[in-house]
């Protein structure tokens, strides 16, 4: 059997990290078994679907490296196929027209709630006579199409993540609406559960991999597969992504869309790597850094957790920093340059070789790309703003004298790595202080910070950029 899986997002919002993680698991499973990964856009919700969301979803999947083999297919272009399936159910006596009004349904649920019962449709229109249907139609009522559910049935399947799962049909809420209201004798807009099943049958999907919040839908859909004579696929219900309080990650938690993570300076391989770990553990539990292709070689659902996966910003930041630290200078420069331009830095007047030296200098300090703006600021501007820590450092006893001695030591000297190191060594010896105090004080004076990239290499870059000893002297003289 050739494995065929699909990711089927709705274009009612930007690509959510939960959807993206589901796409990652589908992709890994397909690639592990040499199968096909298919994209399907579930855009039958015409009121909420937007083309810009479709673009965002496809762009996000592409950015993450989740290449697909077929698609994208659009449900909005397949309506006739769904309506044909609904008509098949009607013809087989497995579905019927329900003429209940909104008011009648609300009244029914209110009475159920008052009696302490779970809300459900009571199947009141399942066996209408032709005369009763004609009477409702004469009133101008437009019927929905409901699929018959046998309340005595128990739906059972072997889930690749959760083992044997069983669901009582009586807990599915009564006969299920599979198509919206339409004129008498017609079939309206097909709904999610029906369209999904028709698509999966038509596309020969072998495995449905999605979040555990779809388990109830799976029970309903198995009944529809059977009713339409389709092969029931295997199912894998993955754990939800949770916030730190253990609730499902939502927009209230802040950043949730892939485009937002991208704007924050997380790079695609790192984010994809992190999402792989949201619910899955590699055979070597100590391995936390790997590409999607590397993960696909060992991916299996027996190592996917049932419990929810808590989103950990510290872990994501660490993984992103590792990727940035190991990224070659040239591509890292390409990623940083647009940020420097946006910040107003005059990068066009600088030699590419100098820019790459600067990136190599600050790269090991990066956790996220936008940090390069602050780290690079001192190389593009002549003004120095001092942090509170830097001010405290400069006010320490003896620091002024240390800086004045450094001025004297570098005056007239050619700026080289050796000359700068010699100047620092000389002052440290003359003032009988620790080298750390000299370096920390010099960094505070020159950069306005007490932490940052290698100070000697920073000094050399200033010199290459025309910000030679005079600029350093002026910075020291202002203190």
Among 158, 168, 248, 251, the active-site one is 251
What is d(CA 459, CA 451) in angstroms, rounded to the nearest whole number? Answer: 15
What is d(CA 199, CA 208) in angstroms, rounded to the nearest whole number? Answer: 12
- Bridge-based pairing of strands 144-147 and 176-179 is antiparallel
SS3 per-residue string spanning the chain: CCCEEEECCCCCCCCEHHHHHHHHHHHHHHHHCCCEEEEEECCCCCCCCCHHHHHHHHHHHHHHCCCCCEEEEEHHHCHHHHHHHHHHHHHCCCEEEECCCHHHHHHHHHHHHHCCCCCCCCCCCCCCCHHHHHHHHHCCCCCEEEECCCCCCEEEEEECCCEEEEEEHHHCCCCEEEECCCCCCCCCCECHHHHHHHHHHHCCCCEEEEEHHHHHHHHHHHHHHHHCCCCCCEEEEECCEECCCCCECCHHHCCCEHHHHHHCCCCHHHHHHHHHCCCECCCCCCCCCCCHHHHHCCCCHHHECCCCEECCHHHHHHHHHHHHHHCCHHHHHHHHHHHHHHCCCCCCCCCHHHHHHHHHHHHHHCCCCCHHHHHHHHHHCCCCCCCHHHHHHHCCCCHHHHHHHHHHHHCCCCCCHHHHHHHHHHHHHHHCCCHHHHHHHHHHHHHCCCCCCCHHHHHHHHHHCCCCHHHHHHHHHCC
Helix axis angle for 215-227 and 192-202, nearest 10°, is: 60
Confirm whether 158 is a catalytic residue: no
- Residues 6 or more apart whose Cβ sits within 8 Å of residue 299: 25, 28, 29, 31, 32, 280
Flag whether 251 is marked binding: yes
- 97, HSE (Cβ side, Cα atoms, 13 Å): 22
- The binding site comprises 251
- The binding site for ATP comprises 251
Q: Which residues are catalytic?
A: 251
């Amino acid at each position: 059997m050739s494995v065929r899986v699909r990711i089927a997002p709705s274009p009612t919002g930007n690509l959510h990290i939960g959807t993206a993680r589901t796409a990652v698991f589908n992709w890994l499973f397909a690639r592990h078994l040499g199968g096909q990964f298919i994209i399907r856009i579930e855009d039958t919700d015409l009121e909420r679907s937007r083309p810009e969301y479709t673009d965002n979803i496809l762009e996000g999947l592409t950015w993450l490296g989740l290449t697909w083999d077929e698609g994208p297919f659009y449900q909005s272009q397949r309506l006739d196929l769904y309506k044909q399936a609904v008509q098949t159910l009607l013809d087989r006596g497995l579905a019927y027209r329900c003429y209940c009004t909104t008011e009648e349904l609300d009244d029914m649920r209110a009475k159920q709630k008052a009696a302490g019962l779970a809300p459900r449709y009571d199947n009141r229109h399942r066996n209408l006579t032709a005369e009763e249907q004609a009477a409702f139609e004469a009133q101008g009522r437009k019927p929905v199409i409901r699929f018959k559910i046998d309340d005595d049935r128990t739906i059972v399947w072997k889930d690749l993540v959760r083992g044997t799962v069983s669901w009582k049909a009586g807990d599915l809420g009564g006969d299920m609406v599979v198509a919206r209201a339409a004129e008498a004798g017609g079939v309206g807009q097909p709904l999610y559960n029906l369209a999904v099943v028709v698509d999966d049958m038509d596309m020969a999907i072998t495995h449905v991999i999605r979040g555990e919040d779809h388990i109830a839908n799976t029970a309903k859909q198995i009944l529809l597969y059977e009713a339409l004579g389709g092969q029931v696929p295997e199912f894998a219900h993955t754990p939800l992504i949770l916030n730190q309080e253990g609730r499902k990650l939502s927009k209230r938690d802040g950043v949730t869309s892939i485009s937002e993570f991208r704007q924050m300076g997380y790079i695609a391989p790192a984010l994809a790597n992190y999402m792989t770990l949201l619910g899955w553990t590699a055979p070597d539990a100590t391995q936390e850094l790997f590409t999607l292709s590397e993960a696909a070689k060992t991916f299996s659902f027996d190592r996917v957790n049932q419990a929810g996966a808590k989103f950990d910003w510290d872990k994501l930041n660490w993984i992103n920093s590792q990727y940035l630290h190991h990224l070659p200078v040239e591509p890292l420069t390409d990623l940083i340059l647009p940020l420097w331009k946006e910040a107003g830095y005059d990068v066009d007047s600088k030699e590419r070789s100098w820019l790459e030296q600067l990136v190599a200098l600050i790269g090991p300090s990066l956790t996220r790309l936008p940090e390069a703006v602050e780290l690079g600021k001192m190389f593009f501007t002549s003004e120095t703003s001092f942090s509170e820590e830097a001010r405290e450092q400069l006010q320490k006893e003896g620091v002024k004298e240390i800086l004045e001695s450094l001025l004297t030591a570098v005056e007239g000297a050619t700026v080289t790595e050796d000359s700068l190191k010699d100047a620092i060594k000389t002052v440290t010896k003359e003032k009988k202080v620790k080298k750390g105090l000299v370096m920390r004080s010099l960094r505070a004076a020159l950069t306005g910070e007490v932490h940052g990239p290698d100070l000697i290499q920073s000094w050399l870059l200033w010199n290459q950029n025309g910000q030679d000893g005079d600029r350093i002297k002026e910075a020291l003289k202002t203190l």
